[in-house]
Chains A and B, each alone.
Chain A
Amino acid sequence: MTAQDAMSPTSATSPSASARPSRPRRLFGPNALSTYSLVGVLVVLFVGFSLARPESFGTVDNFRAILNNQVTVVFLAMAVTLPLVVGEFDLSVASTFGLSQMLTVGLVLQHGVPVVWAIGAAMGMSALVGLANGIAVTRFGINSFIATLASGSIMTGATLGYSKGESVYGAAPKALTDISRGELLGLKLPVVYAAVMVLALAVVMYRMPLGRRMYAIGSNKRAAVLSGVPAGSYIVLTFVSSSLLAGAGGVILGASIGAATPDTGNSLLISAFAGAFLGATAITPGRFNIMGTLVAVYVVGVAVAGLQQIGVALWVEPVFNGAMLFVAVGLSSWTAKQRKRRAERARIRELENRREEAAV
């Protein structure tokens, strides 16, 4: 199984495309509904909850809190989106995230390692994990789903071993907490980091040849190779980037709470995938894409925050995340089917026209 099979964003075809008029990228094209529907959902959720709980939900503080709380999920969702673009799964990102957080906090608090070195160690570890994943997939031909499931499990074990199963907390030095507790333009620093990261990824993926080549690999790897794209190196690079994003997420969370528990991360994996798959139905529908993932993460985040403030129980969040994953994948195959239907109808019309012409 590849990531592409899971959703097959490109499976819808319309043979009558030659009849389609020139399509410069318009703000409201024929796909406007699917392009912006998720943004619409986000607005509706936000307004709805604000009206329901004006005193708690509809406040600037709450808005800032939601932005900030979702930063870790944003990092992880981007970390799973990149491999999905090249047609691979990365299930190890949650464990990389957890280990990175544990290393950063543990090294500083328990071993007195300078903050810079601790962060360097966490990021270096992340890069190595990504490299190992990439080599396992490209060199040894191990299915990425399995390879990253395995490496993730190994890292979960490493986290437990390092922490001996205990949470790490205590008086965090200011040098560590400064990374996350400052503000810029009224936004908490983690939000700023996430914004810069997303913007950079968006430029690379939407506007640079590197991004196009990654989509080419995901769309048809052999064709990409024959076109001169070194697919293997790109896939390794993608896994390294993915792990680095996860590692950075871990560092930022560790810095902002100044503590680490051995079991963070894993519960976030489902949110990350829900974001990536739901995001593939928006902005550039049919493709896993950066802005779509971003919007999707906040749709889920706002919904969960809103539900919690209305006062629903704790179990709602994982259930909601799982349900969103179903909805996301269901929605994308539904839109693919709709596209197919549209193409089919166009074909029938064309056949009718030709019959008429032939009859004349």
Chain B
Amino acid sequence: MTLGDPQTAARDENETLALQVTGLTKVYGGEVALADADLRVGRGEIHGLLGANGAGKSTLVKIVGGAEPQDAGTVRLGGVTLPPHHRPAAVAALGLAIIHQDRALSPGLTIAENIALVVGFPRRRRLIDRKALRELAQAALQRVGMRTDVDTLVSDLPIAEQTLVAIARALAQQADILILDEPTANLGAFDAQRLYERIRDLAAQGVACVLISHALDECLTVCDRVTVLRDGAVVASRPAAGLTGRELAALVVGQDVTTTERERREIPASAIPRLSVRDIGHERLVPLSFDIAPGEILGVTGLPDSGHLLVGEIVCGVAAMDGGEMTLDGSPYRPTERPLYRSDRVAYVPPDRVRDGLAVDLTARENLFLDGRTPVSNARLSRREEARQATAVLMESSVRPADPEAPLSTLSGGNMQKVLLAKWLATRPRLLVLAEPTVGVDIGAREDLYSRVRWARDNGMSILLTSSDLEETLALSDRILVMRYGEAIAEYDREELTLDQLTALTTGTREGHLP
């Protein structure tokens, strides 16, 4: 073997790779989920794995993690080629850990107990050594820069810190390759930023991180390289530095995305606002006031916990209002005294669509016509008529598949959200309250949802958008109300704000927020 032999050089490079996936293929009953996919992640590299829902990201992760066998291709971890039917334990032993979106922690146990559950309980004379247990957990937390008491119940931690605990736990298991599935899905900009800082620290220590995310812009700033999957195939694998957000979005979707920039829209002047809110109170809010005109979108935004979601909840009666008054088209409106009636024509799309918004075991048609009446009139419908109307609604909202008899649980998150929005739009509400409408929704579905929201606005409906997603708020809103620590601190026309300014407004001074 001579020096400079190209094969040796290639082998050397392979030795240094933390994770190398070659020619991975998976077919589910004729449907190609993954076609000859390659992925190469070096040590200390942050590698973005991107793609729309159904592009094959989760299939790839499942195969690498040992949850599914591949049909062809190889997986190498730190220079060791895994057998085709490897077990999850074998992967863990080679230092790979997958942090799932739900973090897979036991909320009823303490941080220390959660960590010991996977790394083993330290024992003295067969009993748990509580002192050693605490020390072990503290050491694990230190690696992710947390100083929280390890006897805290996981359910008592904010979501960002729960993710850090899951990472700390993986590191305590000697993991040096992390696959993070949507770690920032339910986080605000600030917490996401903190989490990314920790991930960078880890990468600097040589940990390889594969980051799966729908937040393309975030990926561009955090990742060293990105690999984009579309329809099961790798369409690009490039350094992040040379890419723009728009190019990346086009790679993910497969076509140039109509950008969300908009021209200025004149709101028709109206003597009576659709919704007028005066000094509404709640123990977590400083009393606040605002108006929404007919055919206007008001975006209320802020960090999680800044109270912006609460505003929407009060307006539709989910949260109790403590003082103040509201009028709807000029007449007094007080949703807390009774449940929302159809006659109010106020609709609420809640942030947790699976828990609060939909009956996922029922079909799309049943969800659209939950009480067996047409959304607009009170007439009862024949089953055939229901199916016909449901199909029309699903087509209008670009739900794929537009099959009224498909159980909702078989749809992707984005398509579920389209059904939920369609259900409420079909009632032709005067006021539509949208809370975090695109959490966990991929970019293609997101554009479909946005265009339906704009359609609603253009047809005279008023929309109160409460979202922690600043880009979304900028893309949709006509006016923006910024909240911080329960107080409305500023109101702007959309044209007056850039993303940077909005970010600065919501986070405020750093010292003021860091716990």
Question: Which A residues fall within an 8 A CB radius of B?
Answer: 9-15, 17-25, 203, 207-209, 212-213, 215-216, 218-220, 222-224, 226-229, 286-287, 343-344, 347-348, 351-352, 354-355, 357-358
Could you tell me if A220 and B106 are in contact, using CB atoms closer than 8 angstroms? yes
Could you tell me if A18 and B148 are in contact, using CB atoms closer than 8 angstroms? yes
Interchain residue pairs with CB less than 8 A apart (6)? A203-B127, A216-B109, A223-B104, A226-B104, A355-B487, A357-B512
Question: Which B residues fall within an 8 A CB radius of A?
Answer: 89, 100, 102-109, 113-114, 116-118, 120-121, 123, 126-128, 130, 148-149, 151-153, 155-158, 161, 283-284, 286, 305, 307, 484-487, 508-509, 511-513, 515
Interface centre among A20, A227, A348 (most CB of B within 10 A): A227
Could you tell me if B485 and A216 are in contact, using CB atoms closer than 8 angstroms? no
In the bound complex, CA of A15 to CA of B107 (Å): 13
Q: Point out the residues of chain B lying under 8 angstroms from A357, CB to CB.
A: 511-512
Q: Point out the residues of chain A lying under 8 angstroms from B286, CB to CB.
A: 355
Could you tell me if B106 and A224 are in contact, using CB atoms closer than 8 angstroms? yes
Could you tell me if B157 and A17 are in contact, using CB atoms closer than 8 angstroms? yes
Q: Nearest A residue to B120 by beta-carbon distance? A: A209
Could you tell me if B157 and A354 are in contact, using CB atoms closer than 8 angstroms? no
Could you tell me if B152 and A354 are in contact, using CB atoms closer than 8 angstroms? no
**In terms of DSSP, what is the predominant structure of the interface of chain B?**
loop
Could you tell me if A22 and B149 are in contact, using CB atoms closer than 8 angstroms? yes
Contact of A348 among B103, B118, B284 (CB under 8 A): B284
**In terms of DSSP, what is the predominant structure of the interface of chain A?**
helix
Could you tell me if B108 and A218 are in contact, using CB atoms closer than 8 angstroms? yes
Could you tell me if A215 and B118 are in contact, using CB atoms closer than 8 angstroms? no
Could you tell me if A216 and B515 are in contact, using CB atoms closer than 8 angstroms? no
Q: Nearest A residue to B515 by beta-carbon distance? A: A18
Q: Point out the residues of chain B lying under 8 angstroms from A12, CB to CB.
A: 155
In the A-B complex, the 9 residue pairs with the closest CB atoms: A219-B108, A10-B108, A17-B156, A219-B106, A209-B121, A223-B104, A226-B104, A216-B106, A354-B485
- Beyond the given pairs A10-B153, A348-B283, A358-B508, 7 more chain A to chain B contacts, judged by CB atoms under 8 angstroms and listed by A's residue number, are A209-B128, A216-B114, A222-B104, A223-B104, A224-B117, A227-B118, A228-B89
Q: Nearest B residue to A353 by beta-carbon distance? A: B485
In the bound complex, CA of A221 to CA of B133 (Å): 22
In the bound complex, CA of A183 to CA of B515 (Å): 60
Q: Point out the residues of chain B lying under 8 angstroms from A224, CB to CB.
A: 106, 117
Could you tell me if B108 and A351 are in contact, using CB atoms closer than 8 angstroms? no
B504 to chain A, nearest CB (A): 13
Could you tell me if A17 and B153 are in contact, using CB atoms closer than 8 angstroms? yes
Interface centre among A11, A218, A219, A348 (most CB of B within 10 A): A219
A115 to chain B, nearest CB (A): 33
In the bound complex, CA of A13 to CA of B123 (Å): 30
In the bound complex, CA of A205 to CA of B132 (Å): 18
In the bound complex, CA of A109 to CA of B403 (Å): 68
Could you tell me if A358 and B512 are in contact, using CB atoms closer than 8 angstroms? yes
Could you tell me if B128 and A358 are in contact, using CB atoms closer than 8 angstroms? no
Q: Point out the residues of chain B lying under 8 angstroms from A348, CB to CB.
A: 283-284, 486
Q: Point out the residues of chain B lying under 8 angstroms from A25, CB to CB.
A: 130, 151
Contact of A229 among B117, B161, B486 (CB under 8 A): B117
- Are A213 and B107 CB-contacts (below 8 A) given A355-B487, A357-B512, A358-B484? no
In the bound complex, CA of A203 to CA of B511 (Å): 46
Interface centre among A212, A229, A348 (most CB of B within 10 A): A212
B283 to chain A, nearest CB (A): 6
Contact of B107 among A10, A17, A21, A351 (CB under 8 A): A10
Q: Point out the residues of chain A lying under 8 angstroms from B108, CB to CB.
A: 9-10, 215-216, 218-220, 286-287
In the bound complex, CA of A352 to CA of B305 (Å): 12
Q: Nearest B residue to A228 by beta-carbon distance? A: B118
In the bound complex, CA of A18 to CA of B231 (Å): 43
Could you tell me if A20 and B121 are in contact, using CB atoms closer than 8 angstroms? no
Could you tell me if B515 and A209 are in contact, using CB atoms closer than 8 angstroms? no
Q: Point out the residues of chain B lying under 8 angstroms from A203, CB to CB.
A: 127
Q: Point out the residues of chain A lying under 8 angstroms from B120, CB to CB.
A: 209
